[in-house]
Amino acid sequence: MSASNITLVTGTDLYADTDLSSLSWLGQQWAAWYIYIGNPVIATGLMSFLLHEIVYFGRSIPWIIIDSMPYFRRWKLQPTKVPTAQEQWECTKAVLFSHFTIELPAIWLFHPTAEKLGMSTYHVPFPSWKVMAPQIFFFFCFEDLFHYLSHQALHTGVLYKYIHKIHHKYSAPFGLAAEYAHPAEVFILGAGTILGPLIYCYFMRDLHILTVYIWIVLRLFQAIDSHSGYDFPWSLHHIVPFWSGAEHHDFHHMAFTNNFSTSFRWWDRIFGTDKKYREYRARCKAARAQAKTPEQWVAFEKQINEEAERDGLAAEAEVERSAGKGFKSD
């Protein structure tokens, strides 16, 4: 459907003063969508929710396929723990429930709120990459700090026992489990994703929702990939050392403590909340060097992982016992 051949919806006149034929292909399709729906709030809300669902499940499907193929076990961080079809299905149902009860209303309300703060939605043409790139980097940094602080809070007694414990159901996470969480946690940690754009909007007044969409897509990829349970030679943290990735976050699920950040490693390093993780990696490196056969390395790895998980279960039990007493795990 070409935007230049569309009759504007009566009463909207969104693009009355815009030469649609001068826009890029994407810009024309963008305008066509808003003209077709006729109501900018509905058009934005619907597009936002569809984007989230398509990207979330679209990115999760490759990990489901990988989990079903033994060939990829060599790169699985906890190779003895492969999610079953039943676990995948139960996780999917829970995620869909939170998507429709928590995320759908939040997505729908976000954009009218942001527009009042100065965000562009239906507007064309789009901002350049030179404008969008630093904005997206700010969103990454803001969310990472917000998540680090909130995630640590969720590991305290009451918040963990009644909220965050649900997300820790899987000691070996998989892609679909990225948003498997208590509705309150979905709201709390999701706030870090949307507050960055809202705060930027309030102060700068030059944010386009396309930039937010790119940020959301990248954030979903980051969240799903960090829960994938796989560390490939080409994984991003091998290229960008301060990137977290699955290798960093998988330890958090296995050992319960340490590694509270999402995208970057620097807050955990600065505040020392990666000490056990670094000790674990050092043990794995030493064991790999000592192993004389692949089978021996597998045995070493299994033993080290079991010890880390056993320590994690003990730490988790201590946090639950401390519920209501203000105790905070390390």
Q: What's residue 221's pLDDT?
A: 98
Backbone angles phi, psi at 171, to 5 degrees: -70, -20
Of 296, 283, 124, 91, which is closest to residue 210 (Cα–Cα)?
124
Pairwise CA distance, residues 289 & 67, whole Å: 28
Contact 250, 309 (CB under 8 A): no
209-226 and 40-67 helices, crossing angle to 10°? 20
What are all long-range contacts of 284-289, with beta carbons under 8 Å and residues at least 24 apart?
none
pLDDT (tens digit per residue) in 225-239: 999 999 999 999 999
pLDDT digits (tens, 9 = 90+) for 156-195: 999 999 999 999 999 999 999 999 999 999 999 999 999 9
Specify the length of the chain in residues: 330
**What does the H/E/C string look like for 166-230?**
HHHHCCCCCHHHHHCCCHHHHHHHHHHHHHHHHHHHHHHCCCEHHHHHHHHHHHHHHHHHHCCCE
pLDDT at 7: 39
The whole-chain average pLDDT of the chain stands at 92
CA angle 66, 67, 69 (to 5 degrees): 65
CA-wise closest residue to 312 among 327, 287, 330, 297: 330
Long-range contacts from 99-104, C-beta under 8 angstroms, 24+ separation? 99/52, 99/53, 99/56, 99/179, 101/183, 102/183, 102/186, 102/187, 102/190, 103/49, 103/52, 103/186, 103/190, 104/49
SS3 156: strand
What are the residues whose beta carbons fall under 8 Å from the beta carbon of 191, sequence distance 6 or more? 146, 150
Average pLDDT of the residues in 259-266: 97
**Is residue 5 very low, low, confident or very high in pLDDT (cuts 50, 70, 90)?**
very low
Condensed to tens digits (0 to 9), the pLDDT of residues 268-322 reads 999 999 999 999 999 999 999 999 998 999 999 999 999 999 999 999 999 999 8
Q: Tell me: the pLDDT tens digits for 8-17?
A: 343 357 888 8
* pLDDT one-digit tens code per residue, 103-126: 999 888 887 888 889 999 999 999
| 0.85 exceeded by pTM | yes
Which of 100, 89, 124 lies closest to 19 in space, CA to CA? 124
Please give the full DSSP string across 253-315, using - where no structure is assigned.
HHHSSS---SSBSHHHHHHTTTHHHHHHHHHHHHHHHH-SSHHHHHHHHHHHHHHHHHHHHHH
